[in-house]
Amino acid sequence: MSDIKTQIRSFIDKNFMVPASLGLKDSDSLLDHQIVDSTGFLELIHFVESDFGISVDETEMVLENFESIDSIARFVTEKRSATSVAGA
């Protein structure tokens, strides 16, 4: 899962204004720290779909799945597992 977290962090660092002084942890809320707004939330979803090859259903577009680097990585891992089991 660390590779997934690295990709997510890299995307966030490149596309959002993350002050180095913040010391953003994987568990920190991207919304609480005002790194991501509603538009950024949609950008994260698009990134997850395109870079990880998964489809995010409307019902999955919730804070629980996209609040932090940890939650995004967990969502991607679970979604990939569900997809591979369904395709087997």
List, for residues 21-77, the tens digit of each pLDDT value: 888 999 999 999 999 998 999 999 999 999 999 999 999 999 999 999 999 999 999
Decide: 56 and 48 in contact? Cβ < 8 Å.
yes
Give the whole-angstrom CA distance, residue 64 versus residue 44. 13
pTM of the model: 0.89
Residue type, 22: L
Residue 86 pLDDT class (50, 70, 90 cuts): low
Domain locations in the chain as residue ranges: 29-81
- Look at residue 78 in the predicted model and tell me its pLDDT: 95
Distance, CA of 8 to CA of 13 (rounded, Å) = 9
Helices (H), 1-88: 2-15, 38-52, 63-66, 69-87
**Is the distance from CB of 65 to CB of 80 less than 8 angstroms?**
no
Tell me: pLDDT of 19 over 90. no
